[in-house]
């Protein structure tokens, strides 16, 4: 078969990091070509170069064996290259129709657009209401809008950047069917992912990238998830599994009938959330982003006086009205989703970042003066105990890699001896080594009797670490499932809102 | 009150409000694309003085309007270059533009202060202002170019990803805003006054800015708002005429007080503000190269 895209020695350097280091490989016409790699391996940079979004420092791209100059997304589109973005490029306050029109290079009347998009929707099984504003759509529907928008331009090559990261298992199956049909109809799909199973299931070829370089370029047929994982990481990751089966007795945290009533269409209101968390239990809250995770975290943290009804009981104390500071003093610790800017101040040193979260601890202060010796030694302990790769505690938090910073933040909270630890997306976007380390730390922590709540979109992570999992869907919480004998199809149904 | 008096008042409101409509509708388009230009007052003053000087020197109203517009294009072009290419802070740059415009117009106009000129009939511009609101509304909500402007103001990264030229779109809207402001200034010194006096726009640029928020970025509401604001300003004269004994300064502050009250009222409803405000307003756009 003939190659439709050929990368030749693509080189792209950002300050301090080489994102693409002489990347060369071919993509065959009418195939599904996966690009596999960890976060930061350079996959996104490479496809952004193909899409004209980023300019390479060196190297060239051949399209149909001809040298192509792609300086802008418009030029890419005229060559038949379209892209479905990881973080959607939709306009929230505009309608579906307006978003579709914006994606088209040619001018088109509303009537014609309707006809054209309906043809595509019927052919591939999308379901779109052209008049609804994007802000009212679920994440899966938003992705459908993105895909239909790309298809309206009759592309030859479709790039999909981590398209499954926001979907439920059922939506993923549906998406894969669509992708296969598109390829059968003549399209070439470039599929970016760091999920091994998906790549095995879907792709014909896979190019594996690590630290900006291509480490393997192979047909998928003869591979399995383990072999791909080894090639992606360069080492084998030992998996820890939550085995400990505590005899739960003591209630640590109870949420009773928590509901919220915000008028803001950008928030998802919670609907009668109930759960009890026992001592030493790890409770996972799964679900696709935007189903109330942010709001639940708001209520647990109480940073913004988010209004709600119901009661939060921590060890027989009603903490509804307590501020974040007061809750921390009761030995509840938090790790929020946003590492830089929420959990840590990027411009401040690691020791200073210790103080910001631990100011309720009296031994960090002498009167109103800061006890720097104490803070520095605390920071040192965190760095040592949690394998944080940094020359010293004076380094600014923003200089650390995602994985190292996350280890530091989680270490900071764990070392304060909490009785309850609440985490949101603890391993999102970090390297596999740090991820394994964090999971191990959490399991050990629970075995010491600390209760943990993990809010995460990553099912695999929850299945590995948690004792119980519930699913949050449009603000309602499903019944909890025991991880030990979990029924995955049921979990999938819960994620799609089919509670029993 | 008799009919003649009411018609007289309405007439004055019409004449005095028109510059607010021009400056406001220009700023509305600029802000719809995600750029906040606080330099309206400066742009208006420079437009006013340029038009005035040209008229004194040439005696031709057409040249006068033309050079007034050119001044708006140049100044807003500089503003656009600073905030779009050099990515300076929009608020600081806009304030600098206002301060610069106040100073420049005072310097240029010094010799011409008090020179008598032949004014222009304001009704042409009043008519155009209504037409303009209609055209801008049609452009923003019915044409693809208008949709692109809104998209750029809503999410510039997405717009860029789809292949739209964010910088170019914003240049256009900033310069459109500049032209509208300079026409507002021209109207004040040539039609409304007609004369030149230092600082003669008297804070109308600021009111026009408040007007855009008041209108929640909708052209027709902006028109209504402009006439409410204009009405408040005119009310002072009439209350004084009736003999209400309040110091003149109190009436002078009325439009600003109304602006503050309206701003507080509008921003108290976060939801309304969030749904209508362009999401990328005042956020600099940086291409990731």
ipTM field: 0.81
Q: Is the pLDDT of residue A245 over 80?
A: no
Which residue from A74, A94, A266 is facing B151, i.e. has the nearest CB?
A94
Query: A235 touching B, CB under 8 A?
Result: no
Specify the pLDDT at position A241. Answer: 64
Specify the pLDDT at position B94. Answer: 96
Domain ranges within chain A, ordered by starting residue: 3-233, 251-495
Q: Is the pLDDT of residue B278 over 70?
A: yes
Q: Is the pLDDT of residue B77 over 90?
A: yes
Q: A229 to each of A34, A168, A240, A431, how far by Cα in Å?
A: 14, 23, 16, 13
- Looking up residue B204, the CATH number of its domain turns out to be 1.10.3470
What's the pTM? 0.76
- In this structure, of A43-47, A211-215, A248-252, the range with the lowest mean pLDDT score is A248-252
Q: Determine whether the interchain pair B147/A105 forms a contact, defined as Cβ–Cβ distance below 8 Å.
A: no
Which residue from B147, B148, B162 is facing A89, i.e. has the nearest CB?
B162
Confidence of residue B259 (pLDDT cuts 50, 70, 90): low
In a domain, B263, yes or no: yes
Specify the pLDDT at position A335. Answer: 92
Query: A136 touching B, CB under 8 A?
Result: no
Rounded average pLDDT over A456-470: 88
Q: Determine whether the interchain pair B163/A105 forms a contact, defined as Cβ–Cβ distance below 8 Å.
A: yes
Query: pLDDT tens digit string along A113-160?
Result: 888 888 888 888 888 888 888 877 877 788 889 889 988 888 999 999
Q: Domain A251-495: which CATH class?
A: alpha beta
Using a CB-CB cut-off of 8 Å, the residues of chain B touching A94 are 147, 150-151, 154
What's the total number of domains in chain B? 1
Q: Is the pLDDT of residue B251 over 80?
A: no
Rounded average pLDDT over B189-213: 90
Specify the pLDDT at position B53. Answer: 96
Q: Determine whether the interchain pair A92/B289 forms a contact, defined as Cβ–Cβ distance below 8 Å.
A: no
Residue A209 pairs with which residues in a beta bridge?
A214
Q: Do domains A3-233 and A251-495 have the same CATH topology?
A: yes
Residues 30-49 of A with CB under 8 A from B: 48
Specify the pLDDT at position B126. Answer: 94
Using a CB-CB cut-off of 8 Å, the residues of chain B touching A74 are 163
- In this structure, of A235-249, A286-300, B187-201, the range with the lowest mean pLDDT score is A235-249
Query: A269 touching B, CB under 8 A?
Result: no
Which residue from B144, B151, B160 is facing A91, i.e. has the nearest CB?
B151
CATH architecture of A3-233: 3-Layer(aba) Sandwich (3.40)
What is the largest distance, in Å, between two alpha-carbon atoms of chain B?
68
More confident residue, B136 or B203: B136
Interface mutation target, options B151, B270, B279, chain A, most CBs of A under 10 Å: B151
Rounded average pLDDT over A394-405: 84
A409/chain B closest Cα distance in angstroms = 29
Query: A115 touching B, CB under 8 A?
Result: no
Alpha-carbon gap, residue B169 to B151, rounded angstroms: 10
Specify the pLDDT at position A369. Answer: 85
Confidence of residue A172 (pLDDT cuts 50, 70, 90): confident
- Residue A482, C-beta contacts closer than 8 angstroms, at least 6 positions apart: A467, A468
Specify the pLDDT at position B272. Answer: 63
Which residue from A55, A83, A101 is facing B289, i.e. has the nearest CB?
A55
Work out the percent of chain B whose per-residue pLDDT is above 70.
92
Are B170 and B35 within 8 A, CB to CB? yes
In a domain, B289, yes or no: no
Q: Is the pLDDT of residue A258 over 50?
A: yes
Question: Which residue range forms the structural domain that includes residue B86?
Answer: 3-276
In a domain, B212, yes or no: yes
In a domain, B139, yes or no: yes
Q: Determine whether the interchain pair B289/A266 forms a contact, defined as Cβ–Cβ distance below 8 Å.
A: no
Q: Determine whether the interchain pair A107/B148 forms a contact, defined as Cβ–Cβ distance below 8 Å.
A: no
Confidence of residue B62 (pLDDT cuts 50, 70, 90): very high
Specify the pLDDT at position B289. Answer: 45
Rounded average pLDDT over A13-30: 88
Highest-scoring range by mean pLDDT, A387-391, B196-200, B239-243, B245-249: B196-200
Neighbouring CB atoms inside 10 A of B199's CB total 12
A147/chain B closest Cα distance in angstroms = 13
Specify the pLDDT at position B271. Answer: 66
């Amino acid at each position: 078969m003939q190659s439709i895209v050929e990368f030749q020695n693509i080189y792209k350097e950002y300050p301090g990091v080489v994102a693409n280091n002489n990347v060369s490989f071919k993509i065959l016409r009418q195939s599904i070509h996966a690009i596999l790699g960890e976060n930061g391996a350079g996959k996104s940079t490479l496809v952004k170069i193909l899409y004209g979004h980023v300019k390479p420092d060196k190297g060239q791209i051949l399209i149909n064996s001809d040298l192509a100059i792609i300086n802008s997304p418009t030029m890419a589109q005229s060559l038949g290259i379209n892209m479905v973005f990881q973080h959607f490029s939709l306009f929230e306050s505009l309608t579906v129709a307006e978003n579709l029109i914006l994606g088209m290079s040619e001018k088109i009347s509303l009537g014609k657009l309707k006809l054209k998009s309906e043809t595509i929707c019927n052919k591939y099984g999308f379901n779109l209401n052209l008049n609804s504003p994007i802000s009212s759509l679920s994440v899966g529907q938003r992705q459908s809008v993105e895909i239909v928008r790309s298809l309206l331009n009759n592309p030859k090559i479709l790039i999909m950047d981590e398209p499954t990261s926001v979907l439920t298992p059922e939506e993923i199956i549906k998406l894969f069917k669509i992708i296969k049909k598109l390829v059968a109809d003549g399209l070439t799909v470039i599929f970016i992912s760091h999920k091994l199973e998906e790549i095995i299931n879907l792709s014909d070829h896979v190019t594996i990238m690590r630290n900006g370089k291509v480490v393997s370029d192979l047909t998928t047929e003869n591979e399995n998830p383990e072999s791909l994982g080894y090639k992606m990481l360069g080492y084998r990751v030992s998996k820890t599994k939550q085995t400990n089966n505590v005899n739960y007795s003591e209630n640590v945290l109870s949420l009773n009938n928590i509901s919220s009533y915000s008028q803001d269409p950008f928030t998802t209101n919670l609907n009668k959330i109930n759960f009890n968390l026992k001592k030493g239990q790890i409770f996972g809250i799964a679900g696709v982003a935007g189903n109330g995770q942010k709001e639940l975290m708001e209520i647990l943290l109480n940073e913004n006086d988010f209004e709600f009804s119901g009661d939060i009981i921590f060890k027989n104390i009603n903490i509804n009205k307590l501020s974040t500071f007061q809750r921390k003093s009761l030995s509840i610790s938090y790790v929020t989703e946003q590492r830089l800017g929420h959990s840590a101040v990027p411009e401040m040193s690691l020791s200073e970042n210790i103080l910001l979260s631990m100011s309720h601890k009296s031994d960090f202060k002498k009167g109103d003066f800061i006890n720097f010796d104490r803070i520095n030694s605390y920071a040192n302990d965190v760095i040592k105990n949690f394998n944080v790769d940094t020359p010293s505690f004076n380094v600014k938090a923003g200089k650390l890699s995602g994985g190292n910073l996350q280890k530091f933040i989680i270490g900071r909270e764990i070392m304060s001896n909490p009785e309850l630890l609440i985490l949101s997306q603890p391993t999102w976007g970090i390297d596999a080594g740090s991820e394994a380390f964090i999971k191990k730390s959490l399991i050990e922590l629970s075995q010491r009797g600390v209760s943990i709540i993990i809010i995460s979109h990553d099912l695999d992570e929850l299945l590995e670490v948690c004792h119980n999992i519930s699913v949050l869907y449009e603000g309602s919480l499903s019944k909890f499932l025991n991880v030990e004998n979990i029924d995955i199809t049921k979990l999938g149904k819960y994620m799609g809102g089919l509670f029993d | 009150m008799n009919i003649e008096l009411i018609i007289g008042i309405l007439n004055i409101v019409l004449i005095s409000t028109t510059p607010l409509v021009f400056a406001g509708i220009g700023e509305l388009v600029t802000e719809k694309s995600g750029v906040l230009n606080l330099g309206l007052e400066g742009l208006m003053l420079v437009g006013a003085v340029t038009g005035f000087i040209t008229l004194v020197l040439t005696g031709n109203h057409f040249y006068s309007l033309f050079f007034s517009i050119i001044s708006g294009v140049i100044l807003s072009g500089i503003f656009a270059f600073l905030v779009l290419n050099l990515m300076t802070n929009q608020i600081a740059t806009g304030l600098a533009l206002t301060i610069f415009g106040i100073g420049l117009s005072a310097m240029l106009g010094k010799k011409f202060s008090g020179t008598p000129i032949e004014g222009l009939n304001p009704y042409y511009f009043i008519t155009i202002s209504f037409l303009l609101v209609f055209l801008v509304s049609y452009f923003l909500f019915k044409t693809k170019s208008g949709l692109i402007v809104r998209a750029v103001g809503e999410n510039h990264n997405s717009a860029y990803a789809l292949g739209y030229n964010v910088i170019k779109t914003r240049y256009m809207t900033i310069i459109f805003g500049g032209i509208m402001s300079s026409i507002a200034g021209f109207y004040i010194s040539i039609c409304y006054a007609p004369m030149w006096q230092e600082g003669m726009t008297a804070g109308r640029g600021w009111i026009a800015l408040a007007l855009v928020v008041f209108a929640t970025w909708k052209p027709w509401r902006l028109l209504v708002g402009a006439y409410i604001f204009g009405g408040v300003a005119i009310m002072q004269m009439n209350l004084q005429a009736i003999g209400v004994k309040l110091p003149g300064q109190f009436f002078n502050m009325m439009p600003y007080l109304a602006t503050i009250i309206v701003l507080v009222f509008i921003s108290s409803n976060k939801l309304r503000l969030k749904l209508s405000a362009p999401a990328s307003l005042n956020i600099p756009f940086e291409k990731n190269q």
